[in-house]
Structure 1
Amino acid sequence: MTRIRRWWQMEPAITQIILGITVAVFLIEWLMGDGATLVFNAIGAKNNQAIAAGQWWRFITPMFLHMGLTHIALNGVVIYFMGMQIEAMYGHWRMLALYMLGGISGNIMSFALSTNQSVGASTACFALFGAFLTIGESFWENPVIRQLTNQFLLLTILNLVFDMFSNGIDIWGHVGGLAGGFLLGYVLGVPRIGKIAPLKRIVAGVVLVIGWLALLKMGFTNVNLTV
């Protein structure tokens, strides 16, 4: 028990757990062989028709499914390095909320604006970028945070530009994850670094909820129009 408590206090435990689950799911896919893609797409990929039919868990499960080794390797690197920094700044439970709710935000936007089936942790990874940009905006006077924010902002822009010129990438999922993470950063706060103005947190929460509801309505409407 002491060892577990020390691990929880000293390590980015949530990041490690998320990464462990993601890798474990991928190993299951790999062990299942060539049919794994079809199986996992059937039960967990973001599929608009299935979501409209009541399979709400498809807003969550795509974050833990990947189409190949390169896909999971790239996302795994982001989860590990960004997750460590975000967890150190926000804390364990806020990190979990940012990752899960940010990833769900990305899948909700994809549901509204993209008809393609998709999988991958990229929606949640972009949420981590968004959460760091919240820190940058809120604590810009800190020179270290300002420098890191500029670097992450450039990296985020380059990733989005790359998305625009690449096939098979769910850019709306990435944009939704980024926006969701940015707003959630305000809602959750960063007490380990400093205080965010209450008005900012309230406005961000209202915008986030209204955005979710509007995108869900749009998604269900679009599915009904295509039936």
Structure 2
Amino acid sequence: MNYKTKLKIERWKKGPFVAYTILAVTGFMFLLQEILGGSTNQWVLVQLGAKVNQLIVLGEWYRLITPMFLHIGLTHILFNALIIYFLGIQLESVFGHWRFFALYFISGIVGNATSFAFNPSVSAGASTAIFGLFGSTLVLVKLFPGHPQIKAMAKNFTLLIVLNLVFGLFSPGIDMAGHIGGLAGGYLAAFALSTPRAWRTTKKQQLTYGLALIGVVALLIIIGYSRFIPVLNLFS
């Protein structure tokens, strides 16, 4: 391997390659949706892994993950992609590659589990994971108390969280359960994962939040099953 190749690999490792990979996979899935019949086509959404509560109850657990990579319409994916790009790059530099990877996926899973528990509609989108990224910015203030840049970032994203939640309340078709669940999931996950250079964190604190996170997901899945199994039994 020559020097230039090694240099490119080192730059890739130091760069936000997790955020870029998420964007690439999300973009690929959107193109696939369009090829198969359109991103707003419900049949395409269901076939590619949108959140469908009845199918999750029947054992298709992967639908707690796959909705993060599907979007409904061009505006939907562009808005989410911009947030992943600008916020994701910042957070990946703070949390590190694999913690950021875990944060994104855990947030999305908790958001989709919350949607499974409380929203009967078919849903898709990276918003569950993105709200988790929002939630993590609130935690950074506690991990780095007094840090001026992190304090400013958290203040800006607190306003963005409030605006998004208010907008969602008055917009039909918005999966508010998924958004709130993702926000809570990201908050808990950020404490559980912490950061490599956190000023204030302990292993006990990380374990406590990690166990709380597992408990929340388990409870949401139980609620989802209890709500939808009786419905399925009516048709069996």
TM-score, length-normalised on structure 2?
A: 0.91
The amino acid that maps onto 2:99 is R
Does residue 30 of the first structure (1) align with residue 24 of the second (2)? no
Structure 2 distance, partners of 1:34, 1:108, is: 26
Indicate the larger mover: 138-147 or 217-226: 138-147
Structure 2 distance, partners of 1:5, 1:80, is: 21
Identify which of 163, 166, 178 aligns with 2:171.
166
Identify which of 43, 51, 66 aligns with 1:46.
51
Cα RMSD after superposing both structures? 1.5
Partner of 2:160: 155
Partner of 1:140: 145
The amino acid that maps onto 2:29 is V
* Compared CA separation, residues 30 and 211, structure 1 to 2 (3 A): same
Contact 1:21/1:64 (8 A) holds in 2: yes
Q: How far is the alpha carbon of 1:3 from its aligned partner?
A: 4.6
* Compared CA separation, residues 129 and 34, structure 1 to 2 (3 A): closer
Q: How far is the alpha carbon of 1:223 from its aligned partner?
A: 0.5
Contact 1:7/1:13 (8 A) holds in 2: no
Q: How far is the alpha carbon of 1:139 from its aligned partner?
A: 1.9
Contact 1:108/1:215 (8 A) holds in 2: yes
Does residue 122 of the first structure (1) align with residue 127 of the second (2)? yes
Structure 2 distance, partners of 1:7, 1:49, is: 45
Q: Superposed, which structure 2 residues align to 1:177-192 within 5 Å?
A: 177-192=182-197
Structure 2 distance, partners of 1:84, 1:194, is: 21
Q: Superposed, which structure 2 residues align to 1:66-81 within 5 Å?
A: 66-81=71-86
The amino acid that maps onto 2:146 is E
Secondary structure class of the residue paired with 1:117: coil
- Rg larger for: 2
5+ residue gaps, structure 1: none
Structure 2 distance, partners of 1:83, 1:49, is: 32
Secondary structure class of the residue paired with 1:194: coil
Q: How far is the alpha carbon of 1:4 from its aligned partner?
A: 4.7
C-alpha distance after superposition, 1:170-197 (max 9, x if no partner): 0110111111111111111111343413
Does residue 96 of the first structure (1) align with residue 101 of the second (2)? yes
TM-score, length-normalised on structure 1?
A: 0.94
Identify which of 185, 199, 209 aligns with 2:214.
209
Secondary structure class of the residue paired with 1:190: coil
The amino acid that maps onto 1:128 is L
Partner of 2:20: 16
Secondary structure class of the residue paired with 1:168: coil
